[in-house]
Each structure stands twice: as structure tokens, then as C-alpha cells.
Amino acid sequence: MSDMTAEAAENAFLPGGRRRHRKPRQNATGTGLRRALVVALAVPVVSAAVSGPSAFAAGKGSGATAKPDRPDPADQRMAKNLASRVLDQRLGSHVSGVVLDAASGKTLWGHNASTALMPASNAKLVTSTAALTVLGPDHRFTTKVVYGDGTLTLVGGGDRTLTTADLTELARTAVAGLKAAGLSSVKVAVDDSLFPAPTLATGWNDGYYPDTVAPVRALVVDGHGVQDTSVDAGQVFARQLAASGVAVTGDVTRATARTTDVPVAQHTSGPLSGIVRTMLKHSDNDIAETLLRMTALAAGHPATFEGGTEAVRHVLSTVYGVSLAHFELHDGSGLSRSDRIPAATLAQVLELPTRHQYAQTLAAVLDGLPVAGDADGTLGPDYGRFDDADSRCAVGKVRAKTGTLTGALALSGLTQGKDGRWKVFSFVENGATADPDATKDALDGLAATVNGCYA
């Protein structure tokens, strides 16, 4: 028995090294996916129309996969190296890992792969997958301005990318209408009733607000990390109104827009696909929590932590057949220390967009993964990633989502081996006592091992 076979046999989370990661289903593309979502979530969704295969999916059915009765020597060498390197003292004793062949779905190596550990920001992978599936990659969020009884009300629509420039354009449009109606002064209110009052997720603490994550509201400008992002946005809007020649009387207040109020201006965000890319590349906690709530609403659930995580579970299990064994999610960002996701599940989720039928819907998940050594993202030099002797060879060759909490580090992504085949990997460690930078170096070394450059 080879080292690779022995490791897989000991640690495989399903017999035969395969993942029971989706239920057999017919018509899994196009209208089939739409029908599955409608049945599961009882809301209209954007169809996952079949597109041309992505670079990751291109090898499927192309003969690139080694025959199962003839183990690939490179895979055997990789598995042998991983079996040794996963025991690195820098990683501690609580480590979960798995490597899949993207083309065949075959498990190439696993170590405690079904053990559920704190995923940290790797939880954003499941949040992104659910949001793109339920809302659709082309979905846009709308911020409105309405007028009634001498008050302009800024109505939040869950756009976490709203900027001062956007509010300036809304103000100009609103001012033009006010002046045309002969009005020279107005009151300003904000309506963020789309989301319930902010709360702390299970596993969060008061110290998170507002620096690590702002209280989750439906209205925010420039990503400001303040306690009341809605009133803050209203104040910015009021200043833009004044700069455009309309006086604002009184303080900005919170109110609920009435059905009789007259629409005067609106702004739509960029597409969800771009927002997901930004969120993953920079591991933006605020975007993740906002997307969780918007996904909940679109799925017919309350815009709460509980409603959002229920939508995520429905999408993963019902639409894609991902196993939720040992899966526990309490937020959208992975800040919760009560979150638990096995490396096996994270790898399953990352393998989905490599499949032809899901490539268009979930492309932003892969596109948003930071690139090793790229300054634009959390795998860049500012974060000390892929900069030591073992992992430097993988710069530009690994795309992966990072995860960092006190006592928890994760790295899940894809890399193309020297044989041209794409491999999906996930490594999660909890409780390592080494210096966090040293532990990150060890994780980067595992990813470089999967790539094959660290042989």
C-alpha cells in the first residue's frame, strides 16, 4: 500500500476516497437549477445559465485525469509530502486537510477531513456561494430617495458599496426636483428598516463593534466603521444637499418611508459578482454580513443571522447536495468562534464553480480568490504570505481564501499542478501555539506542496 493510499484509507471521510457531496439530480443546469431553487426556497431566482467552461472546468472530460487503476506518480509524491508536512509542529495538533482533483472529483489526500474546526474567514466561501445562487451574479442593490411632507428620506437597500460620490448624484437629482417644485429647504431622514436592529451573532463579542465589523444596517456610505452607519450616511447626504443649494433643517432622523412618498432619485450598485470578488479578495466582514441578510430576504427568511444561515444551509444541501455533517454556521463573515466547518465541506464548495453547469453562476467565487504574492488581496506581501523558502515558488500559482482568527487559521483554494490538472485544497488549523506568522508559513507550504513546486 502506497503512502498516499494509506493516508487516504485512514482519513478518507467517505468510503473509496469519494465525496458524497451532491445528490444525483436531473437537469442540474439552467431551468433545472432554477426549479430546484424555487422548490427549496420558494422565491424567484436568477437561473444558473450554462456558460462556456471556465479555465478551471476546462479539463473535465478532456482525458486529463489519471486512470483510477494507475495512481499518478506526482499525486503519490504530493500525498506523501503532505502526510509528513501536515505534522509540522507549527500547525499544532488540530489540523484538517483535503485535496481533490477538480476534474474527476476524486479525493487525492485527506487528513481529518471531516473534522469540524473554526473556519474563520473561509466561511465567506459559503456565504458567497449562497448569495450568488439565490440572488444571481447580475443582481444589483438599490438605494432610493423619496419625498413626503417636507422630508427627503434616504432608503437603504443593502448596498455595502455605496459611496459619497453616489450620494452626491442622488442629492443633485433630488435638489433639481425640489427647486423645480419651488422648495428651498428640506428635512432629512434615513430608512434602514430593511434589516432588523443590529445584534451580535453567537460567538461574537462587543469588542467587534465597530472596528472589526460595523453593526449590520441596510444603509452605509464609504464602508464607514461607525456604530450607526445609517445616520452617518444620512448626514453625508444632507451635506451634499446643502452643497447643491438646498438648506437642511434639523438633525438627520430615522423614519420609515411611507407608500405615499414620492420617489425622486435612486442609485443601483454594481453587479453582485463584482461585490463578491471584492469581499473575498479583501476578506471584507461588513460586505459578508450584509450579503447574508440580503440572501435571507431573497430566500423568504428574516434578514437576521439565523435567517441568513438557514438560506445558506438550504442552498448547499438542497441545490448542490453538499453534505452538512458537522457543519455549524452563525454568521456570514466567519468571525463567530462558534462556527464549525470541515475542510471537506470547504473543498466541496470550492469545487462547485469548477463544474461547467455552475461556472457562470459561481465564477465570482473563483475570481475573487486572492493570488499568492499579489499585492491586491490577503495573500500579498503586506500579509507575509508565500514569502519563505518553501512557498515562494508558488507565487502566482495559487489562488486561495485566507482565514484568520486568534487560534484559527485556514487556507482553501485551487492550484494547477505541473501536469496541468487543477486541484482543490482546504487546510484548517485550530489552537496552534506557534507564532501565527510561522503557522501561516506552514499552511502556505502545504499549498505549495499541492502545486508541486515544493516537491
| Overall average pLDDT of the 182-203 stretch | 96
Q: What is the mean pLDDT of the chain?
A: 88
Residue after which a domain boundary falls, among 233, 248, 270: 270
Both 39 and 92 in one domain: the answer is yes
Tell me the whole-structure pTM to 2 decimals. 0.86
pLDDT (0 to 100) of residue 146: 98
Whether the Cβ atoms of residue 118 and residue 407 lie closer than 8 Å to each other: yes
Whether the Cβ atoms of residue 56 and residue 102 lie closer than 8 Å to each other: yes
CA dihedral sign of residues 336, 321, 111, 383: negative
Both 289 and 255 in one domain: the answer is no
Which residues lie closer than 8 Å to 145 by C-beta, 6 or more apart?
152, 153, 154, 155, 170, 173, 174, 237, 263, 264, 265, 266
How many domains is the chain partitioned into structurally? 2
pLDDT (0 to 100) of residue 48: 31
Report the first-to-last Cα separation within the chain, whole angstroms: 21
Q: How many residues does the chain have?
A: 455
120-145 pLDDT, tens digit each: 999 999 999 999 999 999 999 999 99
Both 330 and 346 in one domain: the answer is yes
Both 420 and 380 in one domain: the answer is yes
Task: Find the helix or strand (DSSP H, E) in which 75 lies.
Answer: helix 73-85
Both 288 and 435 in one domain: the answer is yes
Both 324 and 260 in one domain: the answer is no
Range of the domain at 228: 142-270
Both 302 and 199 in one domain: the answer is no
40-85 pLDDT, tens digit each: 333 333 333 223 334 555 444 333 343 445 678 999 999 999 999 9
Which residues lie closer than 8 Å to 318 by C-beta, 6 or more apart?
36, 39, 40
- The model's confidence at residue 419, banded by pLDDT at 50, 70 and 90, is confident
Percent over 90 (pLDDT), the chain: 82
More confident residue, 1 or 223: 223
Cis status, amide bond into 24, omega within 30 of 0? no
CATH number at residue 150: 3.50.80.20
pLDDT (0 to 100) of residue 206: 84
pLDDT score of 87 more than 50: yes
Both 349 and 420 in one domain: the answer is yes
pLDDT (0 to 100) of residue 418: 80
328-358 pLDDT, tens digit each: 999 999 999 999 999 999 999 999 999 999 9
- Strand pairing report for 262-268 and 253-254: unpaired
Both 44 and 171 in one domain: the answer is no
| Overall average pLDDT of the 91-113 stretch | 96
CATH number at residue 361: 3.40.710.10
Percent over 70 (pLDDT), the chain: 85
Both 423 and 283 in one domain: the answer is yes
pLDDT (0 to 100) of residue 57: 52
pLDDT (0 to 100) of residue 337: 97
280-293 pLDDT, tens digit each: 999 999 999 999 99
pLDDT (0 to 100) of residue 70: 67
229-255 pLDDT, tens digit each: 999 999 999 999 999 999 999 999 999
pLDDT (0 to 100) of residue 362: 98
Both 85 and 123 in one domain: the answer is yes
Q: What is the residue-wise DSSP string for 102-130?
A: TTT--EEEEESTT-EE--GGGGHHHHHHH
| Overall average pLDDT of the 156-162 stretch | 98
